[in-house]
Amino acid sequence: MTVAAAPGPRWLGDAGQVALAGALALVLLPVGWTSVVDGEVSTAWEIALLVALVALHAAVATARRWPLPSYAVGALAELVLVAAPDLSGPTAEAAGSAYGPVLLPSSLCFFVLLYAVSAQDRRPWPGIVLGIGLVGCLLTVVRLSGFDGTGLQGWTWWLMVATATVAATVAAWALGRFRATRAAWIDQLADRAAAEERQRIAREMHDVVAHSLAVVVSHAEAGRMVVGQQPERASGILDTIATTGREALTEMRGLLGVLGGESSTEPQPGLADIGDLVERTRAAGLTVRLEADELGQVAPAVGLTAYRVVQEALTNVTRHAGSGAVATVSVTRTARHLTIEVSDDGVGIQRPPGRGLRGMRERVTAVGGTLEAGPSDEGWRVRAMMPL
């Protein structure tokens, strides 16, 4: 699992991480630095502890860009704090007892590093760093078992240290996994939206191109047969081909304009345009009967879906029903539903479900309707019912 990049320039996120590291260093580091310098430990341990403290804060600054190496540096620094001898001096007197350096405030940086790996790295690293953190909790509890500055005795002190360290470790890890899961979920939503948009574009292009090409091809074939015998019909056939091509280009320009981020000024076809669609199909040579109530106005999505269903169904009749077939387009409205039915009395060829039928079903389902398509007593029938 990976995490999507945060919005905005990457340098902005890096700057925010550096600012967090600076704030933590400003608040936590002076106390730890003073405690080590005044802690009355050997020079070697003093140098080691100061380097460990600086390394912890530096690792926070790089945790966003390099989470796993930063965590490794922080874990080694924490190990130094656990292994170092107790600090004495003024801070120990104020605490009431000498104490292990792991109690220095800069140790809190470890939880920031654990969160960074849990939120950003792939499996299995989040699980591995959690395991390392829990082992560190055990070492910390053992290391602090002799501290008596709090006045708590026996199992009470052990329980408090164990609960605090384990809870903080698990909380930091869980917050990181929540962020990673949320980012992955957002990525999946974006991928799904992109896939749905690709399907919508494919349906639109199929509906526009398939219908227009079917009309053009049928006219071209008819023209080839009649031009020698009835040359006066050639002009009408060519006009129909040209008109169909222009209409297809207009719809394609509108679709491509939307894809390019432009607002299309061409209105989308709707329920009121079904009559014109039937007339064009008749002009292409297919006998079509239209049985419709007053078409009127419906929601744009429903109107476009109804138009595309009729368009695709008539295209299929032209392709598959055979010569001499008669198609019937029926449009019925009630108070709650719009029913579109396209049937033919063609040769009854079994038509396997292709892109066009899938596209019709997806369109109708998207507006809350249902679609049935299959052979009828006379030929083939497509029936769509959509809520108004």
Q: Tens digits of per-residue pLDDT, 223-252?
A: 666 666 667 666 776 777 777 777 677 666
Task: For residue 130, give the nearest of 141, 143, 119, 144 by alpha carbon.
Answer: 119
> 155-226 vs 125-143: helix axis angle to the nearest 10?
170
Q: pLDDT at position 149, please?
A: 57
Question: What is the spatial distance between Cα 386 and Cα 300, in angstroms, rounded to a whole number?
Answer: 13
More confident residue, 378 or 365: 365
φ, ψ of residue 91 to 5 degrees: the values are: -65, -35
Give yes or no for residue 196 having a pLDDT over 80.
Answer: no
Q: What's the mean pLDDT in 150-159? A: 68
**pLDDT level of residue 148 (50, 70, 90 thresholds):** low
- The 8-class DSSP code of residue 101 comes to G
3-state secondary structure 268-326: CCCHHHHHHHHHHHHHCCCEEEEEECCCCCCCHHHHHHHHHHHHHHHHHHHHHCCCCCE
Going by DSSP bridges, is the β-strand pair 370-375/380-387 parallel, antiparallel, or unpaired?
antiparallel
Q: pLDDT at position 54, please?
A: 95
Exposure letters 260-282 (e unless 16+ CB within 10 A, then b): eeeeeeeebbbbebbeebbebbe
Tokens 């939880």: give the residue: 111
More confident residue, 232 or 134: 134
Q: pLDDT at position 260, please?
A: 58
> 109-120 vs 43-62: helix axis angle to the nearest 10?
40
More confident residue, 254 or 7: 254
Q: What's the mean pLDDT in 331-346? A: 88
Start-to-end C-alpha separation, the chain: 43
Question: What is the spatial distance between Cα 311 and Cα 203, in angstroms, rounded to a whole number?
Answer: 12
Q: pLDDT at position 112, please?
A: 93
More confident residue, 139 or 356: 139
Of the listed ranges 12-21, 244-253, 298-307, 337-346, the one predicted with least confidence = 244-253
The amino acid occupying position 162 is A
Exposure letters 158-182 (e unless 16+ CB within 10 A, then b): eeebbeebbebbeebbeebbeebee
Give yes or no for residue 62 having a pLDDT over 60.
Answer: yes
Give yes or no for residue 51 having a pLDDT over 90.
Answer: yes
More confident residue, 53 or 240: 53
Q: pLDDT at position 97, please?
A: 74
Q: pLDDT at position 161, please?
A: 84
Of the listed ranges 41-45, 127-131, 144-148, the one predicted with least confidence = 144-148
- DSSP strands (E only) in the chain: 287-292, 326-333, 337-344, 370-375, 380-387
DSSP reduced 3-state for 375: strand
Q: Name the burial class of residue 216, with classes exposed (0-12), middle (13-18) and buried (19+) by CB atoms within 10 angstroms of its CB.
A: middle
Question: What is the spatial distance between Cα 13 and Cα 60, in angstroms, rounded to a whole number?
Answer: 13
Percent of the chain with pLDDT strictly greater than 70: 76
